[in-house]
C-alpha cells in the first residue's frame, strides 16, 4: 500500500510540475525598475518567453551583454510583435525589473522603445500594447 501511495505522490508531483510556471519574482526584483539603452544583438522569439539580447556600454564604456526576458511569443504576436520586429543593430531602450543575480545582467522587460522610429511596446500595466 505504501508503494502505491508513493507512486501516486510521485505521479502527482510530476504532472503538476509539467504545467507549473515560475514566478518572475523568484528571478527578478519586481518592485525595482531599471532602464538600459543599447544595440540589439539577438532576438529569440521562442516559448515559453522571448528573449532580447542587447549590448550596453557600462560606466567605463565597456560593452556588456544584457538579456531581457520578454512575454510569451503568442502574446507578443497578438500585440503585433513578430520575429522580424527587432533586428541586430537596432538601438533600443528597455525598462524592466533587474535580475536578482547582478552578474547575469538580466532584466524582466516591461517596456521597450526604439527611438529611431518611435516604436514602443508596454508601459500600460502588464505589458500594454505596441504603438506605431
| Residue 12: predicted pLDDT | 42
Ranges of the chain whose pLDDT falls below 70: 1-22, 123-132
Cell output for 112: 521597450
> What is the predicted pLDDT for the residue at 23?
78
pTM of the model: 0.76
Report the pLDDT value the prediction gives residue 25, as an integer from 0 to 100: 83
Contact status, residue 94 vs residue 107, Cβ threshold 8 Å: yes
Q: Which CATH class is domain 22-122?
A: mainly beta
Can you give the pLDDT at residue 126?
A: 45
Alpha carbons 29 and 33: distance in angstroms, whole number: 8
Amino acid at each position: 500500500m505504501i508503494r502505491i501511495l508513493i507512486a501516486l505522490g510521485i505521479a502527482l508531483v510530476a504532472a503538476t510540475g509539467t504545467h507549473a510556471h515560475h514566478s518572475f519574482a523568484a528571478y527578478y526584483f519586481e518592485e525595482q525598475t531599471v532602464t538600459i539603452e543599447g544595440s540589439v544583438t539577438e532576438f529569440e522569439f521562442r516559448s515559453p518567453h522571448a528573449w532580447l539580447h542587447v549590448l550596453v556600454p557600462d560606466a567605463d564604456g565597456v560593452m556588456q551583454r544584457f538579456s531581457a526576458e520578454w512575454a510569451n511569443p503568442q502574446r507578443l504576436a497578438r500585440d503585433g510583435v513578430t520575429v522580424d520586429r527587432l533586428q541586430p543593430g537596432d538601438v533600443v531602450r528597455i525598462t524592466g525589473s533587474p535580475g536578482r543575480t547582478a552578474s547575469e545582467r538580466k532584466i524582466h522587460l516591461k517596456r521597450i522603445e526604439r527611438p529611431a522610429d518611435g516604436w514602443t511596446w508596454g508601459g500600460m500595466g502588464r505589458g500594454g500594447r505596441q504603438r506605431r
